[in-house]
């Protein structure tokens, strides 16, 4: 069946969702997804970041759909026409969702451990407002210890339910879930420090924001100071294919390999993730490519850079001359030395 997204026609199999079809096209037409995770079943529909306008239902029923549709849960019909970036309504809705998500999520990217690889940071950068209209007090939670591997920072959680689905489908034992309702809803464990399943580390990878982070990596480094390498080892619990985040010769963190939509390619076990931090444990395949405009890329000087020209005025230069004299310390001695 055929579907047209922003004027680009594509042939897809029945049962494909609009988001999957958009991802087949790639590029700008792909709506952002905060809660949908293609590797997990039954995800999507919660965050509403991927809302799109369906301007033509199908060939059989060409009426436009009155409401904005979540592209991750809307199945493609033959002849459907979808507007993603060409629809004002869709862009407005996305802006609205970004604003709602940022209401109770503190914008503490400078100190958050997820900075640089946070989906909400990217969403906010593309669709957010430069200042908030929310004047009220933000919702806060008491810190909770959910286990020795994963740090839960509930204040940053956007209730995407991804970690709950991971626990159910990947770990097979769910000791945590969502408590309470409305904006009091929170991720919490049934018994404190109970998350200890051997695949539980994947919750860190699926979390789109900094709510679940790696206790062994926290505050060791910023991601853009690390260099990622693809590596593998023989593992009887998982595929053993990982990304090593290196600082010089030191492995600071191990994660699963992620694709262009920041979704892991294959889930890895906790042993690979947390217990093998020696270079000799791994077969390093080579440096990992990452997005051109990623924050991680900012520390990469291998690209040819344009020459930076600084527009300076005479007065500024004059001032600097004086400053230089002060800094040189030859002509202008320190005050305390003068006194002594």
* Interface ranges with another protein (CB under 8 A): 45-49, 51, 67-68, 70, 73, 75, 92-93, 96-97, 99-101, 103-104, 133-134, 136, 139, 158-159, 161, 177-178, 180-185
CB of 294 to another protein, least distance (A): 25
CB of 213 to another protein, least distance (A): 21
Please list, in sequence order, all residues whose beta carbon lies within 8 angstroms of the beta carbon of residue 337, skipping any fewer than 6 positions away. Answer: none
Structural contact between residues 18 and 51, judged by C-beta atoms closer than 8 angstroms: no
Q: Which is nearer to another protein, 85 or 220 (CB)?
A: 85
Structural contact between residues 272 and 238, judged by C-beta atoms closer than 8 angstroms: yes
Residue 309, Ramachandran bin (φ over 0: left; ψ between -120 and 50: alpha; else beta): beta
Q: Which is nearer to another protein, 96 or 109 (CB)?
A: 96
Q: Which is nearer to another protein, 93 or 268 (CB)?
A: 93
Q: How far apart are alpha carbons 84 and 51 in whole angstroms? A: 8
Task: Give φ, ψ of 116 to 5 degrees.
Answer: 100, -30
Q: Which is nearer to another protein, 99 or 271 (CB)?
A: 99
Q: Residue 102 is inside which H or E element, if any? A: helix 88-103
Structural contact between residues 187 and 177, judged by C-beta atoms closer than 8 angstroms: yes
Paired sense of beta strands 51-56 and 80-83, if any? antiparallel
Q: Which is nearer to another protein, 51 or 206 (CB)?
A: 51
CB of 177 to another protein, least distance (A): 8
CB of 139 to another protein, least distance (A): 8
Q: Which is nearer to another protein, 103 or 107 (CB)?
A: 103
CB of 161 to another protein, least distance (A): 8
CB of 160 to another protein, least distance (A): 9
Name the nearest CA neighbour of 148 among 188, 200, 111, 112: 200
Q: How far apart are alpha carbons 43 and 57 in whole angstroms? A: 23
């Amino acid at each position: 069946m055929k579907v047209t997204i922003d004027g680009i026609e594509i042939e897809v199999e029945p049962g494909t969702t609009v988001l999957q079809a958009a991802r087949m096209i790639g590029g700008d037409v792909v709506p952002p997804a905060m809660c949908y995770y293609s590797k997990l079943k039954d995800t999507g529909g919660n965050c509403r970041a991927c809302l799109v306008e369906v301007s033509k239902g199908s060939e059989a029923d060409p009426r436009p759909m009155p409401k904005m549709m979540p592209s991750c849960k809307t199945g493609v019909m033959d002849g459907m026409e979808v507007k993603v970036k060409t629809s004002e309504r869709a862009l407005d809705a996305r802006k609205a969702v970004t604003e709602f998500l940022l209401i109770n999520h503190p914008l503490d990217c400078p100190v958050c451990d997820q900075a640089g690889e946070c989906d909400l940071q990217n969403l906010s950068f593309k669709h957010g407002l430069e200042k908030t209209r929310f004047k009220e007090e933000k919702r806060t939670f008491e810190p909770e210890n959910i286990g020795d591997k994963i740090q839960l920072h509930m204040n940053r959680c956007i209730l995407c339910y991804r970690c709950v689905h991971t626990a159910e489908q990947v770990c097979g034992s769910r000791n945590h879930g969502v408590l309470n309702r409305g904006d009091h809803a929170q991720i919490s464990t049934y018994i404190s420090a109970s998350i200890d399943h051997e695949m539980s580390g994947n919750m860190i990878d699926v979390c789109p924001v900094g709510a679940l982070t790696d206790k062994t990596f926290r505050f060791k480094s910023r991601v853009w100071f690390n260099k990622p390498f693809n590596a593998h080892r023989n593992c009887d619990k998982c595929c053993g294919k990982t990304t090593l985040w290196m600082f010089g010769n030191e492995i600071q963190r191990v994660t699963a390999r992620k694709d262009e939509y920041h979704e892991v390619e294959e889930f890895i076990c906790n042993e690979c993730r947390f217990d093998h931090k020696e270079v000799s444990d791994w077969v390093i395949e080579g440096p990992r490519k990452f997005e051109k405009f990623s924050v991680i890329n900012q520390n990469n000087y291998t690209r040819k850079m344009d020459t930076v020209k600084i527009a300076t005025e005479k007065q500024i230069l004059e001032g600097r001359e004086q400053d230089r004299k002060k800094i040189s310390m030859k002509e202008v001695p320190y005050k305390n030395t003068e006194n002594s």
